[in-house]
Amino acid sequence: MTTILVIDDSDLQRAETRRALEPTGLFDRILEAADGLAGLRLLLAEAVDVVLCDLEMPGLDGEKLLRVRDARSGAGEIPFLFLTASADTERKVRLLEDGACDTVTKPCHPAELIARLRLHLKIKRLQSELREKNQMLAKESMTDAVTGLRSRRYVTEVLAIEVLRARRYRLPLTVMMADLDHFKRVNDRFGHPVGDTVLRRVSDLLRGLLRATDVAGRFGGEEFLVILPQTDREGAVTLAERWRQSLELTALEAPGTKRIRTTVSIGVAEFMAQMARADELVRAADEALYTAKANGRNRVEVASGV
């Protein structure tokens, strides 16, 4: 439902505006206010898509109304078009700088007014679509599309923050680097869609073991990084073993195939004071993961020196 708010102290002008707008079908609702204060009340109470406001009104005029419109959450995004008989260019420029989207000089032909309103509604719609797409892109940049876990970029940024927190407050911090064993065989035998299903099932098992403060992300193809704030080495190893055992004992269902069994190798590393950067902690966990692979896979190893 598209709504316009017409604010004008002239009954005649409001009536003429309504007569011009109604046949266009642009608006489902045409709200009217006879002064700026009444217009502000409607702006606060109603879902308004565009405002057509007379500039010169007694009391709260259009310019003052523009300055207080942000009292309504999101009101700054509502297009404000001003009708004015003034030829004061400086004032018009000031209005545009304050957030007005357009000024229309009276008398204005209805066709011109309608064209301007149509244009600003289109701009508002495009801005809304752009905002939604940007939000979607932001969400996608934080979330792995296959597993639903966090993205590599996201967990990397979180880990940098957690390392700073652990160093400043001397809190324990551990990470797990995990890799599914022989996962290439799953993709080669069953295809990547089945492989993606397996990744989702593995991630679901992991997600069910984590606390709200833990962060798990897909770090590579079949590689996962898990951040465990305020968790020492023993706690991390316990969690890693629970995940490893649950995966070892679970037959993962994938559409069109028999149940698939897979295992995981996990490297655990605890943050040490001598570590200067987050990537040193990741490297330690990665080296422990390499050891787990070298020692036969399907096992948990702790970084040497930890």
Q: pLDDT tens digit string along 9-22?
A: 999 999 999 999 99
Question: What was the pLDDT predicted at 140?
Answer: 74
| Boundary-marking domain end, from 112, 141, 170 | 141
Question: What was the pLDDT predicted at 304?
Answer: 84
The structural domain count of the chain equals 2
Question: Is there a single domain that holds both residue 253 and residue 160?
Answer: yes
Question: Is there a single domain that holds both residue 166 and residue 285?
Answer: yes
Residue whose C-alpha is closest to residue 16's, from 117, 115, 116, 107: 107
Question: Is there a single domain that holds both residue 158 and residue 217?
Answer: yes
| Boundary-marking domain end, from 87, 121, 141 | 141
Question: What was the pLDDT predicted at 282?
Answer: 97
Question: Is there a single domain that holds both residue 198 and residue 110?
Answer: no
CA atoms within 13 A on the CB side of 79: 23
Instruction: Report the chain's C-alpha Rg in angstroms.
Output: 30
Question: Is there a single domain that holds both residue 99 and residue 169?
Answer: no
Question: Is there a single domain that holds both residue 124 and residue 38?
Answer: yes
Identify whether 146 is part of a domain: no
Question: Is there a single domain that holds both residue 106 and residue 158?
Answer: no
pTM exceeding the 0.85 threshold for the entire prediction: no
Residue whose C-alpha is closest to residue 49's, from 125, 110, 114: 125
Question: Is there a single domain that holds both residue 134 and residue 204?
Answer: no
Question: Is there a single domain that holds both residue 127 and residue 165?
Answer: no
Assign residue 120 the CATH number of its domain: 3.40.50.2300
Question: What was the pLDDT predicted at 67?
Answer: 82
Assign residue 248 the CATH number of its domain: 3.30.70.270
Residue 233, token pair as written in the block: 């080495």
Low-confidence ranges of the chain (pLDDT < 70): 70-76, 257, 305-306
Summarised one tens digit per residue, pLDDT across range 278-299 is 999 999 999 999 999 999 999 9
Question: Is there a single domain that holds both residue 162 and residue 288?
Answer: yes
Question: Is there a single domain that holds both residue 162 and residue 64?
Answer: no
Question: What was the pLDDT predicted at 77?
Answer: 79
Identify whether 265 is part of a domain: yes
Evaluated on CA atoms 289, 291, 296, 302, the torsion sign reads negative
Identify whether 256 is part of a domain: yes
Question: Is there a single domain that holds both residue 298 and residue 162?
Answer: yes
- Whole domain around residue 122: which residue ranges? 3-141
Residue 160, token pair as written in the block: 């940098």
**Other Cβ atoms closer than 10 A to 198:** 22
Identify whether 251 is part of a domain: yes
What 3-state DSSP class applies to 6? strand
